[in-house]
Amino acid sequence: MEDQVKGQSSGQGIGARVPRKEDARLMRGRGNYVSDIILPNQSEVAFLRSPLAHAVLRGITKPQGLEGSVYVAADLTGVKPMEAPCTVPNYKISVQHPLAHEKVRFVGELVAMAVAPTRAAAEDICERIEVDLDELPALVDAHEARRSATRVHDAWDDNLYLTLNYDNGFDEHARNAPVVVEREINMSRQAMVPLEGKAIVADWDHRADQLVVYTSTQVPHVIRIGLAEMLGIGEGQIRVIAPDVGGGFGYKCVLQPEEVCVAWLALTHKRPFRYVEDRREHLIAGANSRQHNYKLKAYADERGRLLALDAEVTIDGGAYSNWPFTVALEPGQATGNLPGPYDFRGYRCKTYCVATNKPGFLPYRGVARTSVCFAIELMIDAIARKVGREPWDVRNENLVQPQAMPYNNVARKHYDSGDYPKSLLAVRQDIDFETWRARQKQGEADGRRIGIGFATYCEQSAHGTSVFAAWGLPLIPGYDQATVRLLPDGSLEVRVGIHSHGQGMETTLAQIAHEILGVDISRIRVVHGDTGQTPFSTGTYASRSIVMTGGAVAKTCEALVPRLLAIGAHLMQCASNTVSMMPGRVVGPQASVSLKDIAEAWYRRPQLLPPDVDVNGLEATVGYRPQVDTGVFSYASHAAVVAVDPEVGDIEILDYVIAEDCGRMVNPMVVDGQTMGGATQGIGTALFEESPYDANGQPLASTFMDYLLPGPTEVPKFRIRHSETLSPYTAFGIKGMGEGGAIAPPAVLFNAVNDALRGLGVEVAETPLTPRRLLAAIEGARPKEPQP
Amino acid sequence: MKAPAFDYQRPRDLAAAAAALRGASGNAKLLAGGQSLLPMLNLRLARPGILVDISRIEELRGIEDRGDALRIGAAVTHAELEDRPLAGGAMLREVAHGIAYRSVRNRGTIAGSMAHADPAADWPLALAVLGATLIVDGAQGRRTMPAGDFMQGPFTTRLADGDIIIAVDVPKLSRGARFGYYKFCRKTGEFPEASAAAVFDPETKQARLYVGALPGAPQPLDDLAYDLAERGLPALTEAAVDRAVAQIPNLEPIARRMQRAAVTRAVRQAFAA
């Protein structure tokens, strides 16, 4: 604990609002992204993508005279298809060839690749490739695909990746419930839309005898394993570098077929090739997340106390399961997290994950939790309306109480700590609930209707070995390591295997190192994103990096402390039990020596070292994982006030407040930034973003004309309040929080709109809430809610 | 998403631009601000052999006060109209200010928008309600076309092959005249879901009212405009708006609901005391 006081007093340690070190380059446009890398003799790659959602691939004719510039599946010698196994019973493996083989299964699937000096020329070549396709019926709707005789994967006996059945005390607790509320709730398919899409430059380094792949990824070490497997070469022959990455959100936590193709070109031709995904490709082939359907029946008492929940969840899994996380992650997280922060004892959930002719589902910021939060929070409000009580009261009474922590919920999730009701009360006060209720009663002069919405969620973060091992994925996270090295000038190098692409970890990891060693953070370099320079980690996903790698950095710095003390004591000619660490110095009874003096002794004046010096020197690599690895649970409540214009269907967010708790905050400013960014994406899910398809599986939103994102004028000024309930299981009590902001906004905004429209008998439950959807609901409103 | 190869010419003056168009025999496209054309090129939806860039031709860049009207050069940008107060041109300024984003306004041009003829765009609606006239030059010589029936349908105009819009003449509003302009966009900068524009001159008791963002060209609501001119706001009843909007063909119920709101709101702005 003394260390923490030390760090905070310097204004740089854990808890300090330190400006992000990486912003010096990123805010000045000096970041170095894959697309900034231009190598001599580099060719550009363009992909020809399937124009049909489902078809037999009869043949491909390369343009005459350009045969050498075009590659199809048969040309990719030595490349294995991507298959991601998973030990969940009855899970079916999809076989994905990087370039389509025998069949195409979604619009945008890679069919062929063309190589030319410029991207435009490569696209010209693509236009001249003839593809002979025999169209098959497209499976566009997950419910229909479940019943259809058409198969996305011909070897399967149905279109189900997997079905999960969970029952814990359902009958017993549902049996005598006096109140039953039934709803169908839909979250639509969308894309993730990072500022930077996929981007790959691959080259062959003759000196190192290595394939060097620069790629925009969250998980460089995982990509190295994946490429070695798919290309059939040794891992030592591959170096993966992820330079600055313009946002990941889950889109870049899996091996992409484009990475395999471009790496194969460089491996085969021993020269550089580049591919940069454009926005249209992203919106078509990257329409891969969020699409869940819920059929829910909630059983409650007359006060709205939830007794049991019966759920049927259908997830539109798209055409392929990804490597390494698999499409099973989504139904697993949906089933496990649907009960949310609530205390009830009867739960039955049947979850179908269905193959369709759309891009394969990928884990997007929040992974299933945005959808389950949307579902359960709309149900809580529906129960409250049914029993005639304030949704806030019903929500509050159903929450897990702080004295129940740690709490094992009905889905056997272990909630480590937290005070959920406190956060719900905080947002009620911060939004000024009573004032808005009063104004709502008066009505608005402009005819708009005011509504107030709440939602509470908890966010499993940094779940580790035991959780992933239970799913039996091809790659399971274990210990994360950090390498820390004091350099001869007394500055510090911290090498980590995760990647930072917006999370500010070049700063927060430096703060953690500063906390232990007291080196000024301007003299701490955090090195990440290069398999050639960093210890292994499965990378950045599942809100894990600050917990896992942050813990590793702390443990590694701590391992250096006795070595520094021993050298320091020797230099001061005093006993080693009389010295201690102070910021940047070792202090003895009469004098002190700086870390620079100690480093100089080790590296340049070894004649000054004590005879029993630790020969491992001033560099260490230590691994870390939390005592309990089932995840630590951050949580938050959000509240919003909206004004709904029932004539045109406009929704204006008048106020939005957040009370979050992610344990010890390493840097509250970074927590604010992550929360705002996430909540902005959540507003996108709630009101704007959608990747619709026609009956033939053709995507209808392939440019920003049709695919809308929230912009500065659509995003309110979030007011954020923090509390810190420390996790008992992690270093410093830190919890992960990278995804949380994106979880609650759809729930909050729909609850607010439903509150606004209560008098009209309108209830909406399908994202995004476009003006047209809202007006259709108003025009079709039935005054009574359907009886169960 | 890179454009296929094309030739590019930047003629010095109007005569050279006309010659370039004639020489290309239908294979050329005029480029002014490029805010619609360039995305279409990159999506490979438009594939002209030659782009004739008229954005810097001086003759197309002026704004001239002609007493009862303003003559706006074809290549005048939305931003120039947004930034420059013009006597009798307050509505032009307000409409320009609301077009897309500033980066679009910096390049997009008034006549480019008319020639592109997106039914949801601002200028086709605003210039119709203002009673503006387009001045066009081409093989059939120099002639004028009223803005109100310039658009023939989505992305279709009365322009013949080789025609160039030279300028737009916009009649000045009188001192007492008022206007209303309402559009509903899902977010700032998007094309609207519904839009309406109204002008009313209490001295002459003249009113005009148009609806935009339709499946086709902006539509006048003359009967409602006439009643409003005669009786003022009391003529703006729900039934009257319903009747007027019901005359617009091919509107589904939700669009109709939005357009009713747009009409009501634009009229209120124009007729509010």
**In chain B, which residues fall in CATH 3.30.390.50?**
178-271
Min distance A244 CA to chain B CA atoms (Å): 23
pLDDT at A3: 39
For A91-120, what is the mean pLDDT? Answer: 97
Task: Please count the residue pairs, one from chain A and one from chain B, whose beta carbons lie less than 8 angstroms apart.
Answer: 65
What is the 3 state secondary structure string of A678-721?
Answer: HHHHHHHHHHHCCCCECCCCCECCCCCCCCCCCCCCCCCCCEEE
Summarize the confidence of residues B227-235 as an average pLDDT: 95
B245 burial level (CB within 10 Å; 0-12, 13-18, 19+): buried
* From B4, B188, B253, residue closest to A779, measured CB to CB: B253
Contacts of B39 in chain A (CB under 8 A): 703
Name every chain A residue with its beta carbon within 8 A of the beta carbon of B193: 648, 771-772
CA A700 to chain B, closest CA, distance in angstroms equals 15
A787 has a pLDDT exceeding 90 = no
Q: How far is A773 from chain B (nearest CA, A)?
A: 9
Spell out which residues of chain B touch residue A281, defining contact as CB-CB under 8 Å.
1
Q: In this structure, is the dihedral angle defined by the CA atoms of residues B239, B245, B251 and B254, taken in order, positive or negative?
A: negative
Chain A residues inside the 8 Å CB shell of B253: 779
Interval A497-534: pLDDT, tens = 999 999 999 999 999 999 999 999 999 999 999 999 99
Contact by Cβ (8 Å): A177, A300: yes
Determine the residue of chain B that is closest to A687 in CA distance: B186
What pLDDT does residue A5 have? Answer: 40
- Tell me, what's the pLDDT at A48? 98
pLDDT tens digit sequence for A156-210 = 999 999 999 999 999 999 999 999 999 999 999 999 999 999 999 999 999 999 9
CA distance B1 to chain A (A): 7
Whether A2-31+479-624 shares its CATH topology with A292-465+628-779 is answered yes
- What distance in Å separates residue B99's CA from the closest CA in chain A? 15
pLDDT of residue B139: 87
Per the CB < 8 A criterion, the answer to whether A357 and A140 are in contact is yes
Structure ipTM: 0.95
Amino acid at A197: G
CA distances from A295 to A142, A184, A187, A464, A782 (A): 14, 5, 12, 30, 20
Report the relative pairing of strands A492-496 and A524-527 from DSSP bridges: parallel
Residue B229 and residue B195: Cα distance in Å, rounded?
20
Measured CA to CA in angstroms, residue A467 lies from A473, A544, A629, A732, B46 at distances of 10, 13, 8, 22, 52
CB-based contacts of A74: which residues, under 8 Å, 6+ apart? none
Binning pLDDT at 50, 70 and 90, where does residue A786 land? very low
CB-based contact A459:A634 (threshold 8 Å):
yes
> Do B39 and A703 lie within an 8 Å CB cutoff?
yes
Confidence of residue A369 (pLDDT cuts 50, 70, 90): very high
Residue B184 sits at the chain A interface (C-beta within 8 Å): yes
Nearest CA in chain B to A775: B254
Nearest to B254 among A645, A650, A775 (CB): A775
CB B54 within 8 A of CB B164: yes
3-state secondary structure A190-218: ECCCCCCCCEEEEEEECCCCEEEEEECCC
pLDDT in tens, A606-650: 999 999 999 999 999 999 999 899 999 999 999 999 999 999 999
Intervals of CATH 3.30.43.10 along chain B: 7-53
At residue A471, the pLDDT reads 87
Smallest Cβ–Cβ distance between A713 and the set B188, B191, B258 belongs to B188
Helix axes A391-398, A420-431, angle to 10 degrees: 160
Q: Token pair for residue A722?
A: 């923090």
Please indicate if any CB of chain A lies within 8 Å of the CB of B4. yes
Q: Taking 70 as the threshold, does the pLDDT of residue A9 lie above it?
A: no
Instruction: Please provide the average confidence, as pLDDT, over all residues in chain A.
Output: 96
Determine the average pLDDT of the residues in A707-734: 96
Architecture of domain B58-171 in this structure = 2-Layer Sandwich (3.30)
Place of tokens 């004539």: A647
Q: Is the pLDDT of residue A784 over 70?
A: no
> Residue length, chain A?
788
Contact status, residue B99 vs residue B108, Cβ threshold 8 Å: yes
Given an 8 Å threshold on Cβ–Cβ distance, is A708 in contact with B2?
no
The band of B272, judged by pLDDT with boundaries at 50, 70 and 90, is confident
Best of B1, B183, B211, B256 to mutate (most A CBs within 10 Å, chain A): B1
Secondary structure in 3-state letters for chain B: CCCCCCEEECCCCHHHHHHHHHHHCCCEEEECCCCCHHHHHHCCCCCCCEEEECCCCHHHCCEEECCCEEEEECCCEHHHHHHCCCCCCHHHHHHHHCCCCHHHHHHCEHHHHHHHCCCCCHHHHHHHHCCCEEEEECCCCCEEEEHHHCEEECCEECCCCCCEEEEEEEECCCCCCEEEEEEEECCCCCCEEEEEEEEEECCCCEEEEEEECCCCCCEECHHHHHHHHHHCHHHCCHHHHHHHHHCCCCCCHHHHHHHHHHHHHHHHHHHCC
- Shortest CA gap A637–chain B (Å): 26
Q: With 90 as the cut, is the pLDDT of residue A688 above it? A: yes
Inspect the interface and report whether the beta carbons of B257 and A779 lie closer than 8 Å: yes
| Helix extents (H) in A211-310 | 220-231, 257-269, 279-285
pLDDT tens digit sequence for B19-50: 999 999 889 999 999 999 999 999 999 999 99
Q: If you average pLDDT over every residue of chain B, what do you get?
A: 96
Structure tokens at B85: 């107060």
Which chain A residues contact residue B264 at CB under 8 A?
647
> How far, in Å, CA of B272 to CA of B266, rounded?
10
CA distance linking residue A390 with residue A411, whole number of Å: 27
A127 contacts in B (CB within 8 Å)? 4, 44
> Considering only alpha carbons, which residue of chain B is nearest residue A447?
B261
Query: Looking at chain B, how many residues does it have?
Result: 273
Across the interface, whether the CB atoms of A703 and B188 are under 8 A apart is answered no
Of the candidates A518, A520, A519, A539, which has an alpha carbon nearest to the alpha carbon of residue A528?
A: A539
- Pairwise CA distance, residues A751 & A746, whole Å: 8
In CATH, what is the architecture of A2-31+479-624? 2-Layer Sandwich (3.30)
Closest partner residue to A647 (CB to CB) among B1, B39, B257 is B257
The answer to whether B2 contacts A118, with C-beta atoms less than 8 Å apart, is yes
Task: Check if CATH label 3.30.420.40 holds for domain B178-271.
Answer: no
A240-251: average pLDDT? 97
Q: Which of B5, B43, B187 sits opposite A711 (nearest CB)?
A: B187
Q: What pLDDT was estimated at residue A4?
A: 41
Quick one: A30 exposed, middle or buried, by C-beta within 10 A (0-12, 13-18, 19+)? exposed
Which residue's entry shows tokens 């050639």?
A532
Tell whether B189 is within 8 A of chain A (Cβ). yes
- CB–CB of A120 and B2 under 8 A? yes
Nearest residue of B to residue A648 by CA position?
B258
Using the beta-carbon criterion (under 8 Å), do A688 and B186 form an inter-chain contact? yes
Min Cα separation B79/chain A (Å): 20
- Up-side HSE of residue A713: CA atoms within 13 Å toward CB? 9
Q: Which of B44, B187, B258 sits opposite A648 (nearest CB)?
A: B258
CA distance A318 to chain B (A): 25
Task: Tell me whether strands A273-276 and A43-49 are parallel, antiparallel or unpaired.
Answer: parallel
Query: What is the rounded average pLDDT of the residues A121-139?
Result: 98
For the structural domain made of B7-53, what CATH number should be given?
3.30.43.10
Residue B164 has pLDDT above 60, yes or no: yes
Work out the average pLDDT over B180-208: 95
- Candidate CATH numbers 3.40.50.300, 1.10.3720.10, 3.40.30.10, 3.30.365.10; the one for domain A292-465+628-779: 3.30.365.10
Inspect the interface and report whether the beta carbons of A711 and B188 lie closer than 8 Å. Answer: yes
Q: What's the burial of B202, exposed, middle or buried (CB within 10 Å: 0-12/13-18/19+)?
A: middle
For residue A779, which residues of chain B lie inside 8 Å, CB to CB? 253-254, 257
DSSP state, residue A220: H
Using the structure block, give the residue that is written with the tokens 């203002």: B130
- pLDDT single digits (tens) A258-312: 999 999 999 999 999 999 999 999 999 999 999 999 999 999 999 999 999 999 9
Measured between alpha carbons, how far is B116 from B164 in angstroms, rounded to an integer? Answer: 12
- The answer on pLDDT for A49 being more than 70 is yes
Closest chain A C-alpha to B145 CA, distance in angstroms: 30
Q: Do A280 and B186 touch (CB under 8 A)?
A: no
Report, as an integer, the average pLDDT of B148-160.
96
- Residues in chain A with CB shorter than 8 Å from the CB of B258 are 647-649, 771, 775
Cα distances (angstroms) measured from residue A423 to each of A144, A396, A458, A671, A723? 41, 10, 11, 16, 8
> Are residues A119 and B193, on separate chains, in Cβ contact within 8 Å?
no
How many CB atoms are located within 10 Å of the residue A48 CB?
23
Do residues A385 and A304 touch, judged by C-beta distance below 8 A? no
Window B:95-124, CB contacts with A under 8 Å = none
Q: Give the B window 244-273 contacts with A, CB below 8 Å.
A: 253-254, 257-258, 260-262, 264
Packing angle of the helix pair A220-231, A257-269 (nearest 10 deg)? 60
**Which of B6, B35, B187, B195 to substitute to test the interface with A, most A CBs within 10 Å?**
B187
pLDDT at position B273: 63
Cis, peptide link before residue B234, omega less than 30° from 0: no
Q: Is pLDDT above 70 for A6?
A: no
Q: Which of A420, A415, A501 is nearest to A461 (CA)?
A: A415
pLDDT of residue B25: 86
**Does B189 sit within 8 Å of A711, measured CB to CB?**
yes
**The pLDDT value given to residue A781:** 79
Q: Using one digit for the tens of pLDDT, what is the confidence trace for A421-460?
A: 999 999 999 999 999 999 999 999 999 999 999 999 999 9
